[in-house]
Amino acid sequence: MILVVGPVQGRNPLGLRFLRRSRLQAIVPGWVGINNIKWVGRIEVRNSAIDVPTTTKKTYVLEGPDYPSKVILRQQTIKSAVALPWGATLSAGRQRVRGFAWSPVGRIGRVEYSLDRGATWQPAALREPNIARAWARWDFEWDARPGDHAILTRAVDDQGNAQPASIPWNAQGYGYNVPVPHPVKVA
């Protein structure tokens, strides 16, 4: 958790804008949605789980046939993404494909890409800085041939967490981090 004391002329030492006038802001990397940034009005120590309707009853709850009892989602999932517009068109020839990967618990250990819908995987190059719980940049060189293609990427962090081939269905689609075929047309 990062505690930021402020506001100091509307900004804190990390360069984030304060959205409220609280003197203390807590940023919790890796937590989902509204749980990851809090404006601290008071601190309460408990020896039991907190029961807040917005985060334990309605929102960020995994519901579906694979979840007989509702599971509260607290932490985000490891993920990777291609930094091209969806359905991008590229010129044939040598291309550098770039993207980002992120883990809620550690540094990115590796990113792999597939150009054959997951039949084979190749390593992408990781770029610095590669900081725990921050987006890590990656890239690979591609000899793009004309036609319709799909790029898949998957990340593994330094704790051994990896993007899965599939996840159980849930009503809101929370935590979805399966590699998604990113369509690319090469002209």
Query: pLDDT per residue over 167-184, tens digit each?
Result: 999 988 888 999 999 999
So what's the pLDDT on residue 58?
Answer: 63
So what's the pLDDT on residue 91?
Answer: 98
Q: What is the mean pLDDT of residues 158-165?
A: 96
- Domain 79-186 CATH assignment equals 3.20.20.80: no
Q: 35-49, 100-114, 120-134, 161-175: which has the minimum mean pLDDT? A: 35-49
Domain parsing of the chain, residue ranges = 1-45, 79-186
**Is residue 133's pLDDT more than 70?**
yes
Q: What are the pLDDT digits (tens) for 40-77?
A: 777 777 787 666 666 556 677 888 999 888 888 878 89
Q: For the chain, what is the HEC assignment?
A: CEEEECCECCECCCCCECCCCCCEEEECCCECHHHCEEECCCCCCCCCCCCCHHHHCCCCEEEECCEEEEEECCECCCEEEECCCCCEEECCEEEEEEEEEECCCCCEEEEEEECCCCCCCEECEECCCCCCCCCEEEEEEEEECCEEEEEEEEEEECCCCECCCCCCCCCCCCCCCCCCCEEEEEC
pTM of the model: 0.76
